[in-house]
Amino acid sequence: MSSEFEITILASGSKGNAAVIRAGEQAFLVDVGISCRQLTERLHQAGMKPEDLTGVLLTHEHNDHVKGLPVFCRKYRLPVFANERTWQYMPKKSEMERSCCRLLPKKLSSGSLEIIPFAVPHDAASTVGYVFKSGGSKCTYLTDVGFVTDEVRQNIADADVVVLEANHDEDMLKNGSYPQILKQRILGTRGHLSNVSAAWLLAHMERLPEEVFLAHLSQENNLPSLALQTVRGILDANEVGADTKIYITSQENIVKNYD
């Protein structure tokens, strides 16, 4: 079955994250981790404009996910959805247009698109991933993951498309220049998912996705080629995922439109 979804990666990594998930006439921006100007330019490069968006979904309040939100919100007045604790800890919330701020429901419906948030372990107030469903297809958006929980496994199961964090190579991180406390944070249960952890999450799925977008790659502790090699190597070793297309969404590969 061909997926109903079109994925446009506008920014991915420690310097900023933003992606558009489109299904038919519905198009949601996930996170606004770059400036409003950059975001608008990259939307135009991808053949879109802010007015084409249905709304904005936030995963959590860290700066690399909300940096451009206040200006973008004031300029385009799109509805912005986040859960209560994320709004509570949102930086520069006072600078936002209040009419745009919406509480994220347990299920959000827009046209034929259904969006379901789910909890993700990360060192923010209340981080979420998202499941998108449309026309029998399922897309799961999953970044900033400390470790793989049962809830994470349940929400990635049977997805046709997955945007999945592959933040770091553990050896590069352990031998790199980051302070020890930061290394411990990234490697901890509320940190980030490694290349190996991302690969094993996929390898243990009963049915692998048609497409996987490896996202949120660290510029200092990972390499696009290494992330792809690690994930593909583990899948091949387990004789699964031969037909799965794997894309890298690093800063060197922006803007990229996949359909």
Instruction: Say how many residues make up the chain.
Output: 259
For residue 254, name the pLDDT band (cuts at 50, 70, 90). low
Model confidence pLDDT, tens digit, residues 154-188? 999 999 999 999 999 999 999 999 999 999 999 99
Identify the burial level of 159 via C-beta atoms within 10 angstroms of its C-beta, where 0-12 means exposed, 13-18 middle and 19 or more buried: buried
Model confidence pLDDT, tens digit, residues 44-92? 999 999 999 999 999 999 999 999 999 999 999 999 999 999 999 999 8
Q: Please determine, for residue 252, whether its predicted confidence score (pLDDT) is greater than 60.
A: no
Q: Which tokens in the block code for residue 155?
A: 């929400």
- What is the CA 2 to chain-centroid distance, rounded? 21
CA distances from 6 to 26, 101, 211, 228 (A): 10, 26, 11, 21
Across the chain, mean pLDDT equals 94
Q: Provide the pLDDT for residue 1.
A: 46
Q: Provide the pLDDT for residue 166.
A: 97
For residue 250, name the pLDDT band (cuts at 50, 70, 90). low
CATH architecture of residue range(s) 5-254: 4-Layer Sandwich (3.60)
* Separation CA 86–CA 125 (nearest Å): 6
Based on its alpha-carbon atoms, the radius of gyration of the chain, rounded to whole angstroms, reads: 17
Q: Which tokens in the block code for residue 124?
A: 């923010």
For residue 5, name the pLDDT band (cuts at 50, 70, 90). very high
Which of these, 86, 56, 59, lies nearest to 73 by C-alpha position?
A: 56
Identify whether the C-beta of residue 54 lies closer than 8 Å to the C-beta of residue 27: yes
Q: Which residue has the tokens 């489109």?
A: 22
Q: Please determine, for residue 255, whether its predicted confidence score (pLDDT) is greater than 90.
A: no
Identify whether the C-beta of residue 90 lies closer than 8 Å to the C-beta of residue 53: no
CB atoms within 10 A of CB 154: 11
Model confidence pLDDT, tens digit, residues 93-107? 999 989 999 999 999
Percent of the chain with pLDDT over 70: 95
Identify whether the C-beta of residue 128 lies closer than 8 Å to the C-beta of residue 117: yes
Q: Which residue has the tokens 């034929």?
A: 112
Q: Provide the pLDDT for residue 259.
A: 42
For residue 2, name the pLDDT band (cuts at 50, 70, 90). low
Bridge partners of residue 149, in order along the sequence: none
Pairing of strands 256-258, 5-11: antiparallel
Q: Which tokens in the block code for residue 111?
A: 């046209």
Q: Which tokens in the block code for residue 180?
A: 């020890």
Q: Please determine, for residue 257, whether its predicted confidence score (pLDDT) is greater than 50.
A: no
Identify whether the C-beta of residue 34 lies closer than 8 Å to the C-beta of residue 20: no
* Separation CA 197–CA 29 (nearest Å): 26
Identify whether the C-beta of residue 257 lies closer than 8 Å to the C-beta of residue 46: yes
